[in-house]
Structure 1
Amino acid sequence: MKRNKSNAAFNPYFLLCISILAIAISSIMIKSSNTPPSVAGMYRLFVSVLIMLPFVSWKKLKLLRLTKYDWLLVLSAGFFLGLHFLFWMESLSYTSVASSMVILTLQPLFVMIGSYFMFKERVNKLMVLCMITAVLGSIIIAWGDIGASREALFGDALSLFGTIAISAYMLAGQKVSHKIPANLYSIIVFFIAGSVLLIYSLMNHFSLIAYSSSDWMYFFLLALIPTIFGHFIFNLLLKSIGATTVSVGVIGEPVLAIILAYIILGEAVSFFQILGGLFTIAGMGFYFWAKYK
């Protein structure tokens, strides 16, 4: 789809780059905080809902022609988003930013598989080979963490579960993206996901209010940067460029996250993380080239 150069700021790929940077920053923010991941995830979603509410016309909700199946997809999307935040944010308590973020780049693999069955998107042998290369990269990362500690391996597993959950979230979103405005859809799924994290936090008896002013500022920044400038933009782009293309964009996240973790947190990068990261990023990069050449 061709677009006017004067509207470059609204080009979907420009917006995709912004969202990728916002998500990469989130891993540094989460790693720097000691608050329970489920509480931080809950507040980032609920605060995002409050920020976005004034910009939504609820009259449009009555005009939507959503079936029971469509509403089931929306509810499922919110549930999977909640699981993603729970697993992925928790993973950063056990493993490094580098490992967690590179494993997250497997998202396009799961989305590609789901898109094949749900939307009949065609894939060729080169795309499959690229995906196998990406999976090999994550295996190398996990292998390196086996030698590091059991906790690191557990963190890698949590990151993988979070990746599967966000893939299901993206696929469900694409399925209903043509029937509901992105801002209204985002508010609904953010609220559902936040509720999932609220229930988990209550079950584990985490405090919901006993936090310092710096923690509350952290919750607000998580809502503004990675949620609104990250996940909301992802939802906005589902209709125009699709879940697979949005997911392929995550190949830029580990590069930015690893650089930021090294500069800001002083986090060391192991040989296995570098080698596995190169495999994963190369696999995803060639996939993107093979699909859109």
Structure 2
Amino acid sequence: MGRDAAIASLAIAGFAISWASILILWSGLNPLSVSLWRTLLASLALTPQAVRELRRVKVELPMGLLTVGGLALAVHFMTWVTSLYYTTVAMSVTIVSTYVIFTIPISLALKRGINELSILGAFMALAGVTLIMYSSYGLGVGSLLGDLLALAGAVSGAVYFVVGELARARLSTAVYAAVVYALASLFTAPVALLLGVDPLRLDLRAFMMVLLIVVGPMLAGHTLLNYSLRYLPATVVSTATLIEPVGSTILAYIFFRQGVGVLEALAMVIVLAGVYLSIMGVTGSAQRGL
């Protein structure tokens, strides 16, 4: 039951995180302000449930592991959100969605089992994402700085997912997410202040966009991804985030009437098929008792 719910959660999360880049740019806020507010408010939203669970079941928080996760998430958001202002959304979203390339070696280094079918599905999905980027936007390199920031977001995001898989074996979704989001905001705040960013400078429109980011990409996106990490490996969860470029293409069609060509449609099928293979590799192993 938990595994089935986790797979369903991945689909919802994939749709939710597809809105992130659009909402961030619509907010018009400084990237560090967005990163700070989204983690702080999401943590506050989950804290009451986390406190209730900690009162009901006493658990020792692995603060070392959670600190690494919080730092990785802070770096992920600060670098990726900033990249949106230096390179194209297409390049940024495509590059940052390559978490799985980095979760695989990290998981292997930690001696976490990885199913071969899941790896095949991961690289199949990556091929589809590359095809989307090529067909929709061409192979322009964009801004080197923006591309490098997005790559840093992918690496730090991979660390965040692997830490989540380890921590979720001991902690509930609410407890893990509330603590990690809070730590991420604590790591982000001093960086913003040192760079002269005033997080309190936001108008009503910007604040509404931040709330939508919290409700959508954070609570319905990242938090459901964290829920899934209890039942699925980090490689599978990170592969599912490759739905984001597909979702972004669909949203671009809905809001900006950007057409979806035959090549793009084929690429979407390849991505979704890759995600399906990655998930089936895990569920198949579970059914065989592997």
TM-score, length basis structure 2: 0.81
Match of 2:24 among 22, 25, 30: 30
CA contact (8 A) 1:106 1:134 kept: no
C-alpha separation between the residues in 2 aligned to 1:233 and 1:30? 20
Match of 1:201 among 168, 192, 198: 192
**1:94 paired to 2:74:** no
**Equivalent runs, 1:61-100 vs 2, <5 Å:** 63-66=58-61, 70-100=62-92
1:219, distance to aligned residue in structure 2 (A):
1.4
Structure 1 counterpart of 2:177: 186
C-alpha separation between the residues in 2 aligned to 1:277 and 1:109? 19
**Equivalent runs, 1:7-156 vs 2, <5 Å:** 11-57=5-51, 60=54, 63-66=58-61, 70-124=62-116, 148=140, 151=143, 153-156=144-147
Match of 1:221 among 199, 212, 230: 212
1:105, distance to aligned residue in structure 2 (A):
2.9
Alpha-carbon spacing, 1:28–1:131, altered in 2? closer, same or farther (3 Å): same
Aligned-partner SS, 2:192: helix
1:265, distance to aligned residue in structure 2 (A):
4.5
C-alpha separation between the residues in 1 aligned to 2:97 and 2:8? 19
Structure 2 counterpart of 1:252: 243
C-alpha separation between the residues in 2 aligned to 1:279 and 1:239? 27
CA contact (8 A) 2:125 2:242 kept: no
**Matched letter for residue 165 of structure 2:** Q
CA contact (8 A) 1:24 1:256 kept: yes
CA contact (8 A) 2:232 2:282 kept: no
CA contact (8 A) 1:49 1:187 kept: yes
1:103, distance to aligned residue in structure 2 (A):
1.8
C-alpha separation between the residues in 1 aligned to 2:154 and 2:236? 16
Q: Can you list the C-alpha shifts for 1:56-90, whole angstroms capped at 9, x where unaligned?
A: 23572782134xxx321111000000000011111
Structure 2 counterpart of 1:7: none
Runs of at least 4 residues of structure 1 off by over 3 A? 126-142, 144-150, 265-270, 272-293
Aligned pairs, number: 281
C-alpha separation between the residues in 2 aligned to 1:244 and 1:159? 19
C-alpha separation between the residues in 2 aligned to 1:171 and 1:121? 12
Q: More displaced, 162-171 or 126-135?
A: 126-135
CA contact (8 A) 1:99 1:273 kept: no
Structure 2: stretches of 5+ with no match in the other structure: 285-290
Q: Can you list the C-alpha shifts for 1:181-203, whole angstroms capped at 9, x where unaligned?
A: 21011111101111222112101
Match of 1:212 among 203, 213, 232: 203
Aligned-partner SS, 1:247: helix
Structure 2 counterpart of 1:6: none
**Matched letter for residue 155 of structure 2:** I
**Matched letter for residue 22 of structure 2:** I
C-alpha separation between the residues in 1 aligned to 2:260 and 2:156? 26
TM-score, length basis structure 1: 0.80
Q: Can you list the C-alpha shifts for 1:85-131, whole angstroms capped at 9, x where unaligned?
A: 0111111112222222222331122112222221431454x766666
Structure 1: stretches of 5+ with no match in the other structure: 4-9
Alpha-carbon spacing, 1:221–1:177, altered in 2? closer, same or farther (3 Å): same
